[in-house]
Structure 1
Amino acid sequence: MKTLAALATCLLALSGCQDSEEQRLLTIAEAAKKSIAANYKDPDSVLFKNLTLDWNKKHICGELNAKNGFGGYIGYDVFRAELKGAGAQTSIASMWTIRDRLNQIFDDSMTGRITEYEAGKARLNVIFESTCTDADSSKSPIFIPVKI
């Protein structure tokens, strides 16, 4: 009987930890989304999907869709943002979208600032970085569910 009570206590403690960790990750993601949306003309209209955090919780990646100057959505674009702060005070230090990064690489290549070989390496690096995978870790990124 004591074993059963001890097992039940351990399971309750573990499930409480899981909820608390999940809530902490959601808090970080919500604060980051708010900080990212603030960079757009209509922050309340920015939509997010496929959000992930790296294991060190230094980056958030995913897809976002924002309205243009005419009020229409531009289509989802993959982004990566560097995070600073903790918990509800999390904000972004910098952010880029794949579209912006690839356009910059193209411009640098066309003007001769980088070679075609360097441009190829840079494009591969953009794709790797946009997955929020830690280069020094074999762990997959943490998926963050998005409320619809």
Structure 2
Amino acid sequence: MRTILVLCLALAGCSESFSAEMEIAAAELKDPSSAQFRHLTRVGNLVCGEINGKNSYGGYVGFEPFYVRDGKATLADKTGDNLIDVTNELRIVNTCADARLSQLNEKMKN
């Protein structure tokens, strides 16, 4: 967990307030200790961002969207196949994107 937090701080400048959600999301990876995070955002009880991890061959697969809600992580490549699941995922991704844009706009104003 300490490695994950250090990577997050180095890559994204995130705070420790995301540590529980980062641990939950990292547990979904093949190699949880390889987790890298960026663009972490909190919207109410939802934490979203991008996660990267190593595959079976030891190579990083690239950053993918993820979110953690109510103690459960959902990674972009593990979403449901039916229309209701996909629609819900799109709503969540849009919520995360809107929050991230708001954060960036605030940074630009300052």
State the TM-score, normalized to the length of structure 2.
0.62
The yes-or-no answer on 1:129 pairing with 2:107 is: no
Closer/same/farther in 2, CA of residues 126 and 42 from structure 1, 3 Å limit: same
Contact kept, 8 Å, 1:59 with 1:132, in 2: the verdict is no
Q: Name stretches of at least 5 consecutive residues in structure 2 with no aligned partner.
A: 1-13, 104-110
Deviating 4+ runs (over 4 angstroms): none
Closer/same/farther in 2, CA of residues 26 and 44 from structure 1, 3 Å limit: same
Q: CA RMSD in A?
A: 2.7
Contact kept, 8 Å, 1:61 with 1:131, in 2: the verdict is no
1:95 counterpart residue number? 73
Contact kept, 8 Å, 2:24 with 2:68, in 1: the verdict is no
Closer/same/farther in 2, CA of residues 41 and 140 from structure 1, 3 Å limit: closer
2:66 counterpart residue number? 79
Contact kept, 8 Å, 2:48 with 2:67, in 1: the verdict is yes
C-alpha deviation, 1:68, in angstroms: 0.9
Contact kept, 8 Å, 1:79 with 1:98, in 2: the verdict is yes
C-alpha deviation, 1:39, in angstroms: 3.5
Contact kept, 8 Å, 2:53 with 2:61, in 1: the verdict is yes
Q: 2:16 aligns with which of 19, 24, 27?
A: 27
Aligned pair count? Answer: 88
Q: Name stretches of at least 5 consecutive residues in structure 1 with no aligned partner.
A: 1-24, 84-92, 109-118, 134-138, 144-148
1:63 counterpart residue number? 50
State the TM-score, normalized to the length of structure 1.
0.48
Contact kept, 8 Å, 1:98 with 1:130, in 2: the verdict is no
C-alpha deviation, 1:44, in angstroms: 2.4
Contact kept, 8 Å, 2:41 with 2:99, in 1: the verdict is no
